[in-house]
Amino acid sequence: MKNAFRSDISPSEITSRTLFESRRRWMQGSLASLATMAIAPASAKSRDGKDFPVAFESEKSEFSTAEKLTTYSDVTRYNNFYEFGTGKEDPVEQAHRLKTDGWTINIIGEVHRPQRFDIDQLLRLAPLEERIYRLRCVEAWSMVIPWIGFPLSKLLDLVQPTGNARYVEFISLYDPEQMPGQRSAVLDWPYKEGLRLDEAMNPLTLLTLGLYGEILPNQNGAPVRLVVPWKYGFKSAKSIVTIKLTEKQPATAWNVSNPSEYGFYSNVNPQVSHPRWSQRKERRIGEFLKRDTEMFNGYSEWVADLYRDLDLSKHF
């Protein structure tokens, strides 16, 4: 399998370089060298036996939770990715069809410098961080996942939003040949999501290229996805090909499919029930007892201010 993450550097060479680099980094106590280290992939078998590169060296961030990680197996085998079917195990079984070679992400709309980026350019754009985030799905289950990525704001700064830009739209790949789930009308394809510009610029909003130290497995949204940890999981669009800055609030896939159940904001909020179930509790995948769901999924400190003037029961 050829892809943009590959290089001809041998795994042994990487091991020693990684050790050397991490020692140097330890001594310098700096994040500055991460970008260069992070783009030094080596080919190796990943733990699920696929020929993945060992992709990333990165550092924990101040935004990481110290909670117990959900296992790699659950993170990569229990997924929502309707492009590959509506069952939780459909993505792991079907997503090998997705071709990520030569992938680009096009930034358009209300920006002074519209630009198309390939994955190598994204990898070089900003220091990669490991962010251990809680992901709370609207279906009342949750996981704790060590993502690899960088703040979306770094990319948006580069393309320079115009004064008219108020929202950011994220559009996933449309290709029913590769994504058999798109042959069914379960959603209005392609999958689309959106954020207000200030939400998109929040330091928590992560443009994500990997998890558990590896490139993103296809079923988790390869090669590039969004992760917005204070919102229900469906806001975190996978396999993104276009980011469009807009003046008007964009239409989003779940809101179009069922506006009374899925609002534009979709902030995790235990006070506001889904019409068919409560959002007060959640089941952490791998655990037996339910736990209380926290306001903004526990990220209030960083995001509550964004909604000071908003009635969150109306703007759910």
Point out which residues bind ligand MTE (CB under 6 A).
Answer: 79-83, 135, 137, 172, 191, 220-221, 233-234, 236-239
Per DSSP, the residues of 183-243 read GSTTS-SSPEEEEEHHHHHSTT-EEEEEETTEEPPGGGTSS-EEE-TTB-GGGS--SEEEE
Kind of pairing, strands 104-109 and 115-118? antiparallel
Minimum CB separation from ligand MTE for residue 135, in Å?
6
Tokens of 67: 């909670």
Q: Is residue 198 within 8 Å of 166, Cβ to Cβ?
A: no
Minimum CB separation from ligand MTE for residue 146, in Å?
12
Tell me whether residue 14 or residue 237 sits nearer to ligand MTE (CB atom).
237
Minimum CB separation from ligand MTE for residue 295, in Å?
19
Backbone angles phi, psi at 91, to 5 degrees: -60, -45
Backbone angles phi, psi at 2, to 5 degrees: -100, 130
Tell me whether residue 233 or residue 250 sits nearer to ligand MTE (CB atom).
233
Minimum CB separation from ligand MTE for residue 172, in Å?
4
Which residue, chain included where needed, has tokens 């993502």? 147
Tell me whether residue 131 or residue 238 sits nearer to ligand MTE (CB atom).
238
Tell me whether residue 239 or residue 255 sits nearer to ligand MTE (CB atom).
239
Minimum CB separation from ligand MTE for residue 163, in Å?
30
What residue is closest to ligand MTE based on CB?
A: 233
